[in-house]
Amino acid sequence: MKISWLTPGPPGSVGRDSSTGNLCFESASVALRPRNLKTFFDELDVIQEMLDTFLSRVETPRILEAGCGSAAHLHFGAKAHLTGIDISTEQLDRNEALDTKILGDIENYPLPESTFDLIICFDVLEHLPNPEKALANFASSCAPQGMIILAMPNVYSFVGFVTKYTPLWFHVFVYRRFYHLKWAGTEGRGPFHTYLRRSISMNSIRQYAQENRFTVQYCDSHVRPKLAEIKERHRLVYAGLRLSSLSLKVLSLGKIDDMRSDVFVVLRKA
């Protein structure tokens, strides 16, 4: 499935309404032109640029990190108030950047309504049995004119297909053998069980955005860094993966895409 750039809504600068505390947009653009992006780090640079513009006009950004570790790749500035929620006490303890810590499940924890200017969720939704509940929670807790940034596997990619239909022990083996992460599978460390529900496919996310008064500011797919690492270190293995991915694409009549395994999505609330 080809994942394409979606045109953002009307551009606007950001400030906070003194009477309501909500964000409001004026005239400057927070949108960026599409680029030919191929790697996680290429896309991350674009996301950071969008984020810098967005946050530069918010005096004290209220940020929710859904799944501690999500925000490790991004920078928010010194004035941001960062709240983290995770089901793991260990993950919360490791994250020293948090101002507020919540021990809870993002599927059902009662997050405060219309509170957070920015919600970040990286590589968490695929591990939830009911990710649509977490997304509904985000929509309710996101402030008007706020932003949600999601990163997750591409449900309809070769890697997504393999991840969804192989057992956890196989994931641990891949992490240790090919990613050279000897700690994989130990207590409190990944990989974790993966559900990868269709409710986090791109079509489902677009529908979610429409139903919850969000515009899709950005949407694109990329090759995850670990695949690039396998390509460099294990060329024959990568060639086999590539051949398998092309075969699956043909057999699925193009529904299962090739090696663009992961997705970034940026949503803005009306």
pLDDT at residue 15 tops 50: no
Average pLDDT of the chain?
Answer: 82
What DSSP line would sit under 173-233, residue for residue? Answer: HHHHHTS--TTTTSTT-S-------GGGSHHHHHHHHHHTTEEEEEEEEEB-HHHHHHHHH
Q: Which helix (H) or strand (E) holds 86?
A: strand 81-86
CB atoms within 10 A of CB 233: 12
Residue 103 lies in a domain: yes
Q: Of 99, 5, 102, 116, give the one whose Cα is nearest residue 54.
A: 116
Residue 84 lies in a domain: yes
Residue 37 lies in a domain: yes
Query: What mean pLDDT comes out for the span 46-60?
Result: 93
List the domain range (segments joined by +) for residue 33.
14-154+195-225+260-269
* pTM tops 0.85: no
Q: What is the pLDDT at residue 4? A: 33
Residue 51 lies in a domain: yes
Q: Of 153, 126, 152, 161, give the one whose Cα is nearest residue 249.
A: 161
Residue 175 lies in a domain: no
Residue 230 lies in a domain: no
Write out pLDDT tens, residues 143-193: 999 999 999 999 988 888 888 999 999 999 988 988 888 888 887 777 888
Residue 245 lies in a domain: no
Q: How many domains does the chain have?
A: 1
CATH number at residue 114: 3.40.50.150
Q: What is the pLDDT at residue 70? A: 55
Give the range with max mean pLDDT: 107-121, 184-198, 221-235.
107-121
Residue 39 lies in a domain: yes
pLDDT at residue 23 tops 70: no
